[in-house]
Amino acid sequence: MKKFNIWPWIILLIGMVYFFLPLIATFEFSLKMIKDRYTFEAYRVAFTDSKFFLNFGYSVLWAVLTMICSTLLVVPTAYWVHWKMPNARPYVEFVTLMPFVVPAVTLTYGLLSLYGSPPIVLIGSPILLIAGYIVLSLPYMFRAVDTGLRAIDVRTLTEAALSLGAGWGTILTQVIFPNLRVAILSGIFLTFAIVMGEFTFASLLSWPAFGPYLEEIGSMRAYTPQALSVVSFMLTWISIGLLQLIGRGRGQEQVAGAH
């Protein structure tokens, strides 16, 4: 029998305090809008602001667009790497790791200086924003889909489908996508969480989104920003909780988020 050791518990306790104290403090702060009483007034105020719904709605729109585009870009690519071009894997992986080499601020700078003035002007449309978000989502999407593809026999499935006369569209939609459902879901949940809280791209490219809105009211008001921070944390918690639930925590080695 091993001797009972107190140190792991102490470290765990410190970790827990560090994890939860800011959350408790934020929650407590958000309840204090009316003096000397704990109320949910700040939440009521936050949720009655029409600008909140506008910005939040935009963030949902960006998140959905990013999820769709990223899936359409990553799944066929990862599939093709597994089925036809295993030699290209290092190059694809290299690209998916680029957001860690070119941080969001830097990428925005490059995008704006390249596509902000003629000959190619893309700043009137949200293309640059979505592109930035797709770049952010690449590591998570690729890793999730790649792990999913490893678990299925791509070669056999594809050859079976081909010999039954299926075209490539059919193979992707009827064979590959259904088999990767869990992997794709875990990728897009994380993408959703990241895009919903993202600040850098939206703020610097001047598009309405939840992140910049939160920052803006944070510099003007008290209590409501904290209330929305709690909401934002719960969103992240739900997204990643769901992800852990579907993926059962396997193969989800995350590298970093959008800070």
Partner 1 sequence: MTGITRVSKSNGDAPQARPQNRKAMDWSWLGLAPFFLFAIIFLFLPSVSIFFRSFQTRAGDFTFENIIALFTVRDIANAYKTSLQISLITAVGGALFGFMLAYAVVLGGLPRGVRTFMTTFSGVASNFAGVPLAFAFIATMGNAGLVTRWIESIFNISTREMGISIYNLWGLSIVYMYFQFPLMVLIMAPALDGLRREWREACENLGGNSYHYWRYVAFPILLPSILGTMILLFGNAFGAYATAYAFSGSFINLVTILIGAQIQGDVLYNPGLGNALALGMILIMALCMAGYAWMQRRAARWIR
Q: Tell me which residues in 113-152 interact with partner 1 (CB under 8 A).
A: 113-114, 128, 131-132, 134-135
Binding segment (CB under 8 A) for partner 1, from list 33-41, 42-50, 52-60, 218-226: 218-226
Among 55, 59, 147, 229, binds partner 1 (CB under 8 A): 229
Binders of partner 1 among residues 10 to 39 (CB under 8 A) are 11-12, 14-15, 18-19, 21-26, 28-30
* Minimum separation from the CB atom of position 226 to partner 1 (A): 5
| Residue 40 contacts partner 1 per CB under 8 A | no
Binders of partner 1 among residues 156 to 185 (CB under 8 A) are 162-163, 165, 167-168
Query: ∠ at Cα 240 (9, 78), nearest 5°?
Result: 125
Among 177, 199, 208, 221, binds partner 1 (CB under 8 A): 199
Among 60, 65, 97, 152, binds partner 1 (CB under 8 A): 97
| Residue 54 contacts partner 1 per CB under 8 A | no
Determine contact, residues 166/175, Cβ cutoff 8 Å. yes
Cα atoms found within 13 Å of the Cα of residue 74, Cβ hemisphere only: 32
Please state, in angstroms and rounded to a whole number, the distance separating the CA atoms of residues 226 and 207: 22
Angle between helices 50-83 and 127-151 (to 10 degrees): 50
Among 67, 161, 194, 195, binds partner 1 (CB under 8 A): 194
- Give 148 or 212: the residue with its C-beta nearer to partner 1: 212
Tokens of 21: 């104290």
Instruction: Give the ranges where the chain is alpha helix by DSSP (H).
Output: 7-30, 41-48, 50-83, 89-96, 98-101, 104-115, 127-151, 154-163, 168-170, 177-179, 181-197, 200-204, 210-218, 224-247
Among 38, 54, 68, 241, binds partner 1 (CB under 8 A): 241
| Residue 106 contacts partner 1 per CB under 8 A | yes
What secondary structure letter does DSSP report for 145?
A: H
Please state, in angstroms and rounded to a whole number, the distance separating the CA atoms of residues 52 and 214: 9
| Residue 200 contacts partner 1 per CB under 8 A | yes
| Residue 242 contacts partner 1 per CB under 8 A | no
